[in-house]
Structure 1
């Protein structure tokens, strides 16, 4: 099975622009940005609750902990929220009016939690409509890891952020392209 495509800036902009034309603009934009800025899997995004991301006053948390039941590896892990995602989540909070901390952060068409499969389908629908060949729900995750690696973040930190128990798994996520190779040899 081929790895999901790593997205470049133009592809990310195209997907975000497409989200602006969808029925659930704010939700879909927030889901895509959440995945791009945290590297969360579709299963983890689907399992998020309002109380995971917002405190009792409704402010966006700078970090939160995923419970074992929310992760693929059944291990808790801390998720850090950057400034761009904080801004999007503040906007999302005004749109998503529920204050129940146990309510799903992202509501499906039926009003409940997304299933992992339905979240994957959402990503596939967005990427297919944008003409992004080979892109899947794992593409934002691979993009997150690759971009941080390109900025010099060490593989151990990347593994912790991704929730990988092995750095070998993390290394498989890092995409290498000709521009990176050319820049590397210019360092000599």
Structure 2
């Protein structure tokens, strides 16, 4: 099985433009950006409750503490949210209003929690309809790791951020492209 596609900035904008033209635009935008800017797996995204992300005073947390039950490897970890994602989440919460902390962060059109499988299918069709071939729900995570690697973040830090126990796993996520190679040789 081939690896999920790493999204280019143009493809990310293409997906955001498609999302903006469809129903559930705010939810889909925030769901996509949360995966793209936090590096969480689709199973982790689908497991989130409002209380995982929002403080009791209504502010958005800077860090999400995932329990062992929420992670793939059954190891709890902390996910750090960049300010731009916290701003997007704040707008999303303003739209949703004050809902109980136990409610799912992302709900289906049927007002139920997404399962990991349903969310993965949702992203598959979203990318397909947006015209991005080869993309899947894992593309957001792979793009997150690759983009940080492009900015010079060490593999050890990337492994910690992504919840990998081994840096060799993290290295498989990093997509090397011609721009990276050009930039590398310019550093000589």
Equivalent position SS for 1:161:
helix
**Distance between the aligned counterparts of 1:109 and 1:116, measured in 2?**
15
**Residue-pair matches, total:** 188
Say whether residues 1:180 and 2:180 are aligned partners: yes
**Distance between the aligned counterparts of 1:102 and 1:75, measured in 2?**
22
**Distance between the aligned counterparts of 1:167 and 1:75, measured in 2?**
16
Counterpart in 2 of 1:80?
A: 80
Counterpart in 2 of 1:18?
A: 18
Moved over 3 A (4+): none
Say whether residues 1:126 and 2:126 are aligned partners: yes
Equivalent position SS for 1:138:
helix
Per the TM alignment, residue 147 of structure 1 is displaced from its structure 2 partner at its CA by: 0.5
Which aligned pairs between 1:29-68 and structure 2 lie closer than 5 A? Answer: 29-68=29-68
**Distance between the aligned counterparts of 1:26 and 1:170, measured in 2?**
31
What TM-score do the two structures reach when normalised by structure 2?
0.98
What TM-score do the two structures reach when normalised by structure 1?
0.98
Which aligned pairs between 1:83-162 and structure 2 lie closer than 5 A? Answer: 83-162=83-162
Say whether residues 1:70 and 2:41 are aligned partners: no
Please give the per-residue CA displacement for 1:142-172, whole angstroms capped at 9, x wherever unaligned: 0000000111111111011111111100000
Per the TM alignment, residue 57 of structure 1 is displaced from its structure 2 partner at its CA by: 1.1
Structure 2: any 5+ residue segments left out of the alignment? none
Per the TM alignment, residue 87 of structure 1 is displaced from its structure 2 partner at its CA by: 0.8
Structure 1: any 5+ residue segments left out of the alignment? none
Per the TM alignment, residue 98 of structure 1 is displaced from its structure 2 partner at its CA by: 4.3
Considering only aligned residues, what root-mean-square deviation do their CA atoms show, in Å? 0.8
Please give the per-residue CA displacement for 1:39-87, whole angstroms capped at 9, x wherever unaligned: 1111000000000000001100011200111110111100111111011
**Distance between the aligned counterparts of 1:139 and 1:109, measured in 2?**
23
**Distance between the aligned counterparts of 2:106 and 2:136, measured in 1?**
19
**Distance between the aligned counterparts of 2:19 and 2:99, measured in 1?**
25
